[in-house]
A and B are shown apart, each in its own frame.
Chain A
Amino acid sequence: MTFLTVLAALLKIVLIVGVAFNLAAVLTWAERRQSAMMQDRFGPNRASFSLFGKEFRLAGLVHLPADGLKLIFKEDFVPQNGDKLLHALAPMLSLFAPLVLMAVVPFGDVLCMDQLKNGHLWDAVERFGTCTGAAGPKSLPAIPMQIFESNNGILYVFALSGLGIVGATLAGWSSDNKFSILGGLRAASQLVSYEVAMGVSLVGAMMVYGTLRIDEMARWQGEHVWGIFVQPLGFLLFWAASLAESKRTPFDMPEGESEIVAGHLVEYSGMKFGMFYFGEYLEIVVSSALLVSLYLGSYNLPFLHRDGITIAFGDAIWHKTLPHLLVVVVQVGTFFGKLALMCWFQLFFRWTLPRFRYDQVMRFGWRMLLPATLVNLFLTGVVVLAIDRAGEAFADRLGLVADGVNLLLGALMVFAVVRLVIGFAMPTNRAPRPGANDAPQTA
């Protein structure tokens, strides 16, 4: 434990907290603006500030500080017979739980400090090296791009995501309001139910990757293929469960205008409400981060490895070494890019899917999702066992398939970018409206 590692840890904490908080804040804007675009309307665009006599609206981003200021200066209301301590504790817990989850999420491969120290800034490192340098007394440690290198990373996730339940339940209890307690109970039962399915759905991934460490999982995906291709069913099940965990629209049982008003949030105002609200968006960030880390290749791009780009189909076809610092920067950028894209994609669900009824949610959780995860677990076990028994030759052939998948994936990504650019450049094709060519009505 040197001064360098402590400094690096602090820097990583600042980076992750900064990104998570800012991403969550931007999500509050994105959700409103994005849903507006989906529904053919403007969305927030009125808040503005003036600078040098000009008015700036920044596409509605000014609403963010405006909303924040409003929440801060609003009256902090506590019900007369409510539990004041728990009433204050509940929003803290619901904000705290998703935040600490980000600690175990790796956002890049290791940074080999030795490499930098020796002045080989533009040299590549070995692809399969340990990156510990000369291991002499003067050598510097390799710094993992992860705040907390836990041996049981996934279990840590399970343990702390359960804490969010406590926040919602406490909020319901301490508000001294029937709607609140009903909302709190609904939240508790829903979260507990889906916690089970979420846990079991991940076991399949653990079996494939052979580890509990999330950084190891990420590395496995870089060497082989993204998790979504080896665990497609597990991916969908985990996604569904994490959607339910975030208490958002298809699963927003704890709230419901016509049933229990705002549920456990009824008696919250000002910044305490703001913390709940913020916690919800943090949960989106965290669940997106987990989805990216476990199933979508984490910080990996196809063919980009620690030493550079290696396009291979069984044997290497094309190889190019890249400087270590560049690779690390690309990897970190890739992770945060994927994270933002996944958050953006998750917002679509709320504005596309209709809401469940409460009994449907429970039935879905226990009678559909949980059996499905068990089936996934069983199938995965059988397949993993079969591959282990199949021998080297079959493993090579599987490697070929993985390379093919990676080739396809790379091509798909290039295609998506090109399609996006072309689509943006093309003018909108409007069908002529009947009567559009008639003479204008006002002479």
Chain B
Amino acid sequence: MPTIKLDGREIPFEKGDTIIRAAWRQGLEIPHYCWHPGLSVAANCRMCLVEIERPGGRQMMLDVLNWDAEKGDYVPSKKPKLEPACQVECLENMNVKSESSAFVSDARKHVQEYLLLNHPVDCPICDQAGECKLQDYWLQSQRAPKRMHDEIVHKPKGVSFGPTIVYDAERCIVCTRCVRFMDEIAKDPVLDKRERGNLGEIVLSPGRQLEGKYTMMVDHVCPVGALTTKDFRFKSRVWFLRKVETVCPGCATGCNAWLDYDPRTGEVPRLRPRDNQAVNQFWMCDDGILTHKRVQSGRVVTATVGRGKDRKAVTPSAALKAAAELLKGAKSVGAVLSAQRSTEDNFTLAHIAKTFLGVGELHLASLGTWDGDAILRDADQNPNTRGATLAAGGAVHPIGELTEPVVGGQVGVVVALGGPVDLDDVTAGALGRAKLIVFSDAETALTKMADVVLPIASWAEQDGSFVNRQGTEQKFVAGPKPIGDALPGWDALVRLAKQAGHPLDWKRIKDVRKAMGGAAARPSTQPTAPEAPPAE
């Protein structure tokens, strides 16, 4: 593989790579604003200027005057012409100086000062503060107050770009990442840039709004606080948040994401896209980002026993006892897996049903289809249809097929795992005749008519894995503590089995995965090794 030298380090590159991309592949960062590995090159921020010595070629030098303190006069001297690392393609044996060049540090300092010249520096009230590139590079390269004492250029602030995004032109450095994202990824060129220099700003196409399925991504591509989502605006400060790796439960694509939660309150104020070239590259859709709302709203918090008016809140152990009583008195039991729950939860239920309860046919509860597209969104709204099917160890039947045995009286008790689920009236009416034990994180049609409801953790609050449409098993990690009396799904099911007197001693998620065998032995999350940007 051909290599270049970056600050004395040998770096391999592929043909066509720019210097910044070659460095990025190695996990090295050359400071930049406008360059994004998933977007085309604009080269307008000038932050990534580096000193380049081409093999065999002459280095381009400029004549400058430098102040000599000894002589007390300016003396003529030479200075290399710096070039943007995002624009220059790698050549074999090219010698690039980034951190090691005093000219480059000097250039960065001045570019940084220039970018901050008209910036309002309202970090205290800016949602980006704490993860802002301007802050990072100021600390890294500038570390000096600005020398301009004039009033800054005032531009529109707090402009609503649509239902999801607010724009602040004063904070904007006009890097056009958002413009390029809407153009290249979302295929909806609704944003553009107008004016030049210190008057430049991002504007909407006349008569349009920033709307569609991929609007919130512009907040995440924005390197500064110019674009903020209405969803997260003023909700929290980023330094209060902890992040864990998670997988979006919005559809079968299984986009990788960071789950940001507040450890003090357990709230999950946002989801951020996590790079995975094999699955979602760098992106997520609006609905996927907004799945963080499922952690807080519409949750089952306490265990309940009884239907309708007789329903009352009990402790989880009392509910487990009641459920075990139902199971003991049942002639025949039905089991409903959930395409919304993790593979481990589904496997545990399938294992218990087949081993201890004598269930022959497993059924699957899931949400219906929605409007998928060719970018990221899959038509299947369920993140784990494949995982649940794999966990069942064979074919699963849709929940609708449970109608007949229940109405016919062959099945008296149904144990169901319930995330969000779509039920038609017929199925709902039929299931209402059976005794229903539901383990659910969300209030659904199933929990409403259940005899025993046990709260379980949402995907954000427990370890687990989803198998996406490509068949990739992706693990996710527990973030905040489960709210209310909720337990991890598999844990609640194991406790039910124990309560009913069945020998099952899985204590940790490890035990479940061990029992799952081959499926769990595979490496889960794909490495975030960068690959070529998507073809345009």
Please say whether the chains A and B touch (CB closer than 8 A).
no
